[in-house]
Amino acid sequence: MLQIRIHGRGGQGVVTAAEMLSIAAFLQGSYSQAFPSFGSERTGAPVVSFCRISDREIRLREPIMEPDSIIIQDPTLLHQVDVFSGLKDAGHVLINTAHSFEKLGIGDIMSGRRLERMCTVPANELALKYVGRPMPNAVLLGGFAALSGIIKLESVAAAVREKFSGKVAEGNIAAATAAYDFVKQKMQENVHA
């Protein structure tokens, strides 16, 4: 079973990201589960959402304490919340930012981890370009598809179409595709570095 934890802030579509990831996995024939963890939070408050993907029925219902992957929608959380808590040594890390891990002040945390499993992507900028709003959720799922190989870009697009329609869906798919291409290119550069 693969366990993914998504960190962000209220209003960024953290819950929707987990739901779309779950839909994408389901469309590929996997069992999946998505659920949030938040109280009566308001816009801007830290929010965590979870997604499990398995080839067997999922009976667990508790929060994910040892994720295989983490997606961070808001890099301001890096020094406010222990987003890396429990992350497995070979875990995937995807952060919404145009900055390097060193510039974010987490170079020490990332050292010793496998370079091909970590990436940053300017999801807000891509969302602004293609959707007109800085909503990084679907964009990051495109990047996550490229980074992890757990889900396919086509499945992300289908999941986006299940949640949204018209221009909003097509804009999010274009942004997710741009993030996918961005991460693939960045991973190629890491291989040749």
Q: Which residue has the tokens 């919340």?
A: 81
* For the ranges 33-47, 51-65, 178-192, the one whose mean pLDDT is highest: 51-65
Alpha-carbon span 188 to 151, nearest angstrom: 19
Alpha-carbon span 22 to 25, nearest angstrom: 5
Residue 191 reports pLDDT greater than 80: no
Q: Of the given ranges (89-98, 101-110, 140-149, 181-190), which has the lowest mean pLDDT? A: 101-110
Mean pLDDT of 18-25: 97
Alpha-carbon span 95 to 117, nearest angstrom: 12
Give the per-residue pLDDT at 33.
Answer: 96
Mean pLDDT of 98-127: 88
Task: Between 23 and 193, name the one with better pLDDT.
Answer: 23
Give the per-residue pLDDT at 39.
Answer: 59
pTM: 0.93
Do 53 and 150 form a contact (C-beta atoms < 8 A)? yes
Alpha-carbon span 134 to 173, nearest angstrom: 14
Q: Which residue has the tokens 């490229």?
A: 146
In this structure, what CATH number is given to the domain that contains residue 36? Answer: 3.40.920.10
Residue ranges making up the domain that contains 121: 2-192
Q: How many domains does the chain have?
A: 1
pLDDT in tens, 126-148: 999 999 999 999 999 999 999 99
Residue 8 reports pLDDT greater than 70: yes
Give the per-residue pLDDT at 114.
Answer: 78
Residue 40 reports pLDDT greater than 60: no
